[in-house]
Chains A and B, each alone.
Chain A
Amino acid sequence: MAEFEFKVKFNQQDIKSLNQEILTAFKKVIASNAVLRDIGEVLVLDIVDTTKNEKSIPNKLANLKLLKEAWINRKDRLSKYNKTSPDYEHGKSNLTFTGQLLNSLTYIVEGPGKLKLMFKGNHSAYIGANGKKIGKDISNDKLAGYVAESGRPFMGIRPAMRLRINRIVKSYVIRVLAVARLTK
């Protein structure tokens, strides 16, 4: 289960000493659904891309743990009977075989200032040589938890995305102030 709460923190300066007009615009922006949706989009895309590139965000972008030989061979065998993701590659540790897990990552805006990243739906069990499912379907949310516990944590916010989120918020603040000037 991966859930993120969007919080605003004033670290360096007393709020009173900040430009009050900009602060008002800023508060309006960070409570906005549109802004949170933009941030959600950015985070989901980045987590998926970073993982497909075999990097672990929580482990400071170190490589995801390598796959064991037996697992690599099993995936190769199963690839004959399952529709694999275009990002699946022999031996690559990128949490992508059929692509169901990463494709299920999404976000919802839960309210002002609150964004939740989550995995939706079920992960279908793989099909074996006899054309039948091997094992049971499992929720993508549970699977994400197992993957992280087994040494491949991947959910997180890359430092460069923090910068991007800052720029997104800043661009909205600029818009709010510009509209205020126009309607004055």
Chain B
Amino acid sequence: MAEAKGLVLETDIVAQEFNLEEILGVDLSKDEALAAEIGNDIVDYITKRSAAGRGIGGSKLRSPYSKEYLNSEEAKIYGKKPAPINMRLSGDMISSMDVIDFDGTTLVVGIEGEEAAKAHGHMTGKNGTVPNMKREFFGLTSSELKKITDNYSDRISALESPSPTIGDLLSEKDNASINDFFNNIGDIFKLKELK
């Protein structure tokens, strides 16, 4: 199974985090426009890939659509057919995919807001409760991302390498442990509205 690193699958956000500084080895904080262009290309790539019935790494999305789905009121309204698989009913979910954050290092592309629940359902088969629904349409493998960033190789090589940080002193093992810690700790932060 092709792997999309940095995927976030929650009911209010389906996204992928790309640490561009780590992946490209350059400091993009002074060229946010480039990060945005890469982000937009990622959106276009996934849009086209899903229209062709393909998911992460180009793997074929489950086909055909289930009878239950085709019999749903919404599917009837939009005249949905068993095939082709294109992850589109109204088109709202796919068109809500966007660049949703860039902090100078990490680019986040995905779906947040109302359409995220739908995308989460497709990505996880409603957390495994509806396996027929599972179609991993969102996310890029490292090689898919490389195809996109290769188009910007001149602009990328013109950028400076990031300055070493104190964190660079940590070993690979330490970094792996920190990643494990944050992966296992789950939804750690709750910012609760009091009033």
Contact = CB atoms under 8 A, between A and B. Distances in A.
Interface stretch (B28-36, B134-142, B169-177): B169-177
Kindly list the 9 A-B residue pairs having the minimum CB-CB distance in the complex, ordered from nearest.
Answer: A61-B113, A159-B13, A11-B186, A12-B186, A174-B167, A7-B190, A160-B100, A3-B194, A160-B101
A61 B112 contact: yes
Contacts of A155: 193
Interface in A142-167: 155-167
B181 A5 contact: no
Nearest to A165: B189
B177 A10 contact: no
Interface in A111-163: 115, 155-163
A179 B170 CA distance: 9
Interface in B3-18: 8, 10, 12-13, 15, 17
Interface residues of A, number: 47
Nearest to A168: B103
A165 to B, nearest CB: 6
Interface in B141-186: 165-170, 174-175, 177-178, 180-182, 184-186
B67 interface: no
Contacts of B116: 60, 159
Given A4-B194, A10-B188, A173-B178, A163 B101 contact: yes
A13 B186 contact: yes
Contact of A174 (B8, B15, B170, B185): B170
A8 B189 contact: yes
A19 B108 contact: no
Nearest to B106: A167
B191 interface: yes
Given A11-B188, A26-B185, 17 more contacts: A2-B195, A10-B188, A43-B191, A60-B12, A61-B112, A62-B113, A115-B191, A155-B193, A159-B12, A159-B13, A170-B178, A171-B167, A174-B167, A175-B166, A181-B170, A181-B174, A182-B166
